[in-house]
Amino acid sequence: MRDVIVIGAGGGGPVVAKELAQRGLSVLLLEAGARHAAPRSEWTHFENDANNPLTGFLRFGPADRNKPAWFRELPQNSFLFQVSGVGGTTQHYFGNCPRAYPGVFAGYDRPDADAYDAAHRFPFRYDDLVPYYEWVEATLPVQTAAMGRKERTFFDGCETLGIPVQTTKTTLGDSFRPQQNAILQPGGNAGLTRELSRLAFPQATGCTLCGYCLQGCMEPIRAPRNLFAKRSTDNSYVPMALTADAWSPHGVPITLITDAFATRVLTETRSGQLVATGVTWRVGATGETHTETAQIVVMAGGTTESPRLWLNSGLPNPNDWVGRGYTDHYFDLVVGLFDKDTDSSKGAASAARAEFPGRGGMENIGLGPALQAFAMQLSDSGSRGFYTNGRGFTGPWDGPTGRPIGPELKDALMNGVNRLLNILVITDDDVEAQNRVLLSALPADEHGPVPKVVFRPRNRTARTVANREFLVRKATQLLRGAGARKVFRLDWAPLILHVQSTMRMGTSAADSVLDDTAEARFVKRLFIADNSALANALGGPNPTLTSQALATRTAEKIFQRYFGGEPWVGREAPVVSTADAVTQAVLARGL
């Protein structure tokens, strides 16, 4: 029997695993996808090789790339951007680590309190989470992003908006700033050269501005895994968890099993209460199933997979909120074409942002040509100039919303992938019961019924729609201010990539699955530590940091409630994941 089994080695699971391994608990971490132990021999910087949703090494599918990806049902024009493998979606994330806006937490009483999703606040105060933010920011670590040409272009536009520069971690008003990124700042030759011979560790340290965040970070060349620039969990929390004995006085290394898809959470009734007792998983390579028991089970397979696993395990759902309340930041993309270089495909993929609390935010995103083309074809407004799909909105951008097709798409991209600027519009969207994960009626796969992800983009709340319309206008103004010659607004169909709140914690038992410690209301000893546990869409900020802060808090609650331990956040100094003791253990153990 293990003390704790954590399901899913993505953004949140490894945080719980590392924190509890540091305390001396025996932890089993299960990951459905590949280990990706040797990125230099398994990965490339190529977009199709990495990101093809059917075949790429960062797809959502089995460790064996010759097997098809896992099917999920999407009954609308949309794209669900899941990633399996150790690190989960942090493998392809941009490392952006803004804190949630204070207005989405309980007890917020500033004058703009009504501007947020007031019906679905976190069940505790912002100040209660700050120590956990600080702990994660120190552990990853999170640092102020360096500036390349695309950031300079973004700031040029921001400087025309009449809003101040934010110089704090907490956001309190409209502002712009460099990202706080989980990316090590460039050191040595990094950022100064393209010559391979000068870019190997330790001549180069931190971010080399290679431009391939989306393809997984393995920079600089020959750096120890825990010193790779981007602090995806495969480069930060997982190496720490695997070496906990080397850097923590009471630490016990975790057991990590990959190619292990959890298919069932086991339960029994004790003293009239349903409690979690273990996990069954299926081995991808052999098809065998294994079961292990544990005192505590932590679900962290992701915002789509956690409700699926809950339902496939036959766990109770008395208020019908399992899988409901899916938030996705109702993204939109605004693209400016320039007559000057922006170097959009170079550098950290996103290193600048603007905040509009109560509305959401926006950030620059750099893409290679294939994903740039993909991004400019995703639209809920049909094809520009031919059909609008009932939308085709006009505004300060050029022409109607919609995808440019054929010659227009080609002309836009031939302007140059380094002479454009993308602004991702990140809307503060409301928790809505209609947007949800349920089990598909289509045939089950080897792991049971597959998830069906339903979004109703035409039926969002008035506040959500108004927030998006406000932000796309600001983004257009920013691009014009930066000198854009032509501005496209895509009106994206749902790109389900920032995913939150399908197993949400909440103040009310009527519309939440978790209590204020992230323990399931209906099954004791069962916790959730991925983005699905978040109470809402955070007001718009990218979710990973908050999920990791919450997972840290959850680990502490588990340790206190079930293992008689003392809390540590705010009492101890965190160990940074780049610490020499971690590095030496990573090297010694060939991690």
Partner 1 sequence: MATNDLSRRAFLARIGVLGASATLLPQCAGPELTGSESSELGLGVIVNLLRPVLGQLARDTLNGFVAFSVPGQDDYSRAQGTPRGEPGGIAAGGTDFLIENFDRFLPLPDELVRPAGAALVTALGDLPLPIAGNLLFGLLGPSVVTIGLVDNAVRFILENDSDAPLSLPVALLLNYVATATNPASLHGAFVSPFARLSFADKARAMAMLETSQSRLVALIDAQVPQPLKASVSGLLQFFGGALHEFAAFGCFGESRRYSPATRSLTGRPVGWQLTGFVPDNQPGDGWDDLLGYYQDRREVTDA
Binders of partner 1 in range 9-48 (CB under 8 A): 44-48
Confirm or reject binding of residue 416 to partner 1 (CB under 8 A): yes
Is 414 near partner 1 (CB under 8 A)? yes
* Nearest approach, Cβ of residue 45 and partner 1 (Å): 4
Site for partner 1 in 451-510 (CB under 8 A): 452, 458, 493
- Is residue 132 at the binding interface for partner 1, with CB under 8 A as the rule? no
Paired tokens of 285 = 């390579």
Binding piece for partner 1, criterion CB under 8 A, among 150-158, 474-482, 499-507, 569-577: 150-158
Closest approach of Cβ 528 to partner 1, in Å? 27
Stretch that binds partner 1, among 231-239, 246-254, 277-285, 413-421 (CB under 8 A): 413-421
| Residue 418 sits in the site that holds partner 1 (CB under 8 A) | yes
Q: How many residues touch partner 1 (CB under 8 A)?
A: 101
Told to check if 363 binds partner 1 by CB under 8 A, we report: no
By the 8 A CB rule, do 333 and 375 touch?
Answer: yes
Nearest distance from C-beta of residue 458 to partner 1, angstroms: 8
Q: Which residues contact 267 (CB under 8 A, 6 or more apart)?
A: 274, 275, 276, 277, 313, 315, 523, 526
Strands 27-30 and 255-257: parallel
- Mapped onto helix, strand or coil, the DSSP state of residue 270 is strand
CA distance linking residue 550 with residue 13, whole number of Å: 11
Structure tokens, 422? 């993308």
Nearest CA among 127, 169, 546 for reference residue 327: 546
Task: Tell me the window of 6-14, 50-58, 428-436, 506-514 that interacts with partner 1 (CB under 8 A).
Answer: 50-58
* Near partner 1 by CB under 8 A: residue from 84, 96, 143, 306: 143
Binding test (CB under 8 A) with partner 1, winner from 31, 117, 174, 219: 219
Q: Between residue 366 and residue 385, which ones bind partner 1 under the rule CB under 8 A?
A: 368-374, 376-379, 382-383
Residue 487 main-chain phi, psi, to 5 deg: -125, 125
Q: What distance in Å separates the CA atoms of residue 234 and residue 34, rounded to the nearest whole number?
A: 11
**Closest distance of CB 34 from partner 1, Å:** 16
Contacts 24+ apart (CB under 8 A), 282-285: 282/446, 282/447, 283/259, 284/32, 284/62, 284/63, 284/64, 284/67, 284/259, 284/260, 285/63, 285/64, 285/259
**256, 279, 354, 417: residue in contact with partner 1 (rule CB under 8 A):** 417
Considering only residues 20, 24, 35, 78, which one is a binding residue for partner 1 as defined by CB under 8 A? 78
Closest to partner 1 by CB, 161 vs 370, is 370
- Contact between 77 and partner 1 per CB under 8 A: yes
CB 480 within 8 A of CB 474: no
- Subset of residues 191 to 210 that bind partner 1, contact rule: CB under 8 A: 191-194, 196, 199, 204, 208-210
Residue pair 92/10 in contact (Cβ under 8 Å)? The answer is no
Smallest distance from the beta carbon of 386 to partner 1, in angstroms?
A: 4
Q: Which is nearer to partner 1, 4 or 142 (CB)?
A: 142
Residue 455: helix, strand or coil by DSSP? Answer: coil
- Residues 388-407 binding partner 1 (CB under 8 A) are 389-390, 403, 405-407
State the nearest-atom distance from the C-beta of 494 to partner 1, in Å.
Answer: 10
Which residues, other chains included, contact 293 with Cβ-Cβ below 8 Å and sequence gap of 6+? Answer: 1, 2, 266, 277, 278
**Residues from 532 through 591 that contact partner 1 (CB under 8 A):** none
For residues 513 and 530, the answer to whether their CB atoms sit within 8 Å is no
Return the number of the residue (449 or 565) whose C-beta is nearest partner 1. Answer: 449
